């Protein structure tokens, strides 16, 4: 079954038995991986120790660390999509854009999704324990799991679900700094994290406008509905500038 959501990458080269898992992890839509990765790289770059300014030379971020964040972003973005679809499959069936997702369409069962999620989380754990400052990175990484597990529920209970998504998707702003320094300096990480959350509110509110009719029918929330037609542009402009 072909997805109703537009795909960026063609995954038809995969065996038919693997394609539903690829769709579940949004392998055909890699933009989410980059959105997850950018805060990691920004934080890593900020945390990288610089040499004295009068030498006009600076240390570059560790490429191996950046590669680990790249792999971790790919894996955990896919895990987040799996969790999202497991929570939302009953709603996805009634939304034009999402009705062909593997769980909503019946291409995959919940037991299959659970096994796939276990594989994804195991791979994510493998990346996490490969990071420098293992103890600190482990605990800060583990601290993100409640957000990863529950952010798909936000649209049912809060008019600002994109805020929950932003808090989850931009945890890399914390992880990058911890991986380099072994601690969190909130005077730097705090503004970076807040700015990244605002960035997520901008792009995901725009994204949510395509589902607002179906969301309203299903009793689901989004900032697209909360801000409304008149409020979206000025609010997003303020978030983008601020």
pLDDT tens track for 16-74: 999 999 999 999 899 999 999 999 999 999 999 654 555 555 678 899 999 999 999 99
Using alpha carbons, select from 129, 125, 132 the residue that is nearest to residue 178.
132
- pLDDT score for 60: 82
- Token readout for 212 is 């607002």
Between these two residues, 92 and 170, which has the higher pLDDT value?
170
Report whether 69 contacts 215 (CB < 8 A): no
- Token readout for 226 is 């909360």
- The rounded distance, in Å, linking the Cα atoms of 92 and 81 is 13
Residue at token pair 């960026």: 8
SS3 17: coil
- The rounded distance, in Å, linking the Cα atoms of 124 and 134 is 14
- The rounded distance, in Å, linking the Cα atoms of 176 and 188 is 12
- Token readout for 34 is 């980059």
- The rounded distance, in Å, linking the Cα atoms of 66 and 37 is 9
95 pLDDT band, cuts 50/70/90, is confident
Q: What is the pTM of this model?
A: 0.89
159 pLDDT band, cuts 50/70/90, is very high
């Amino acid at each position: 079954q072909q997805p109703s959501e537009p795909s960026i990458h063609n995954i038809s080269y995969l065996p038919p038995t693997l394609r539903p898992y690829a769709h579940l992890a949004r392998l055909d839509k890699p933009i989410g991986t980059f959105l997850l990765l950018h805060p990691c790289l920004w934080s890593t770059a900020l945390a990288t120790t610089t040499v004295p300014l009068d030498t006009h030379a600076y240390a570059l971020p560790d490429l191996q660390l950046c590669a680990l964040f790249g792999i971790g972003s790919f894996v955990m973005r896919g895990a987040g999509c799996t969790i999202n679809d497991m929570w939302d499959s009953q709603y996805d069936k009634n939304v034009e854009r999402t009705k062909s997702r593997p769980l909503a369409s019946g291409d995959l069962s919940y037991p299959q999704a659970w096994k796939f999620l276990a594989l994804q989380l195991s791979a994510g754990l493998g990346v996490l324990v490969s990071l420098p400052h293992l103890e600190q990175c482990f605990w800060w990484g583990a601290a993100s799991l409640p957000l990863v597990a529950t952010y798909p529920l936000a649209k049912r209970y809060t008019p600002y679900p994109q805020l929950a998504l932003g808090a989850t998707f931009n945890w890399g702003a914390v992880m990058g700094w911890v991986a380099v320094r072994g601690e969190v300096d909130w005077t730097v990480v705090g503004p970076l994290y807040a700015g990244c959350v605002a960035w997520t509110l901008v792009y995901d509110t725009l994204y949510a406008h395509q589902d607002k009719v179906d969301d309203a029918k299903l009793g689901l929330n989004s900032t697209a509905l909360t801000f409304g037609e008149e409020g979206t542009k000025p609010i997003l402009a303020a978030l983008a500038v601020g």
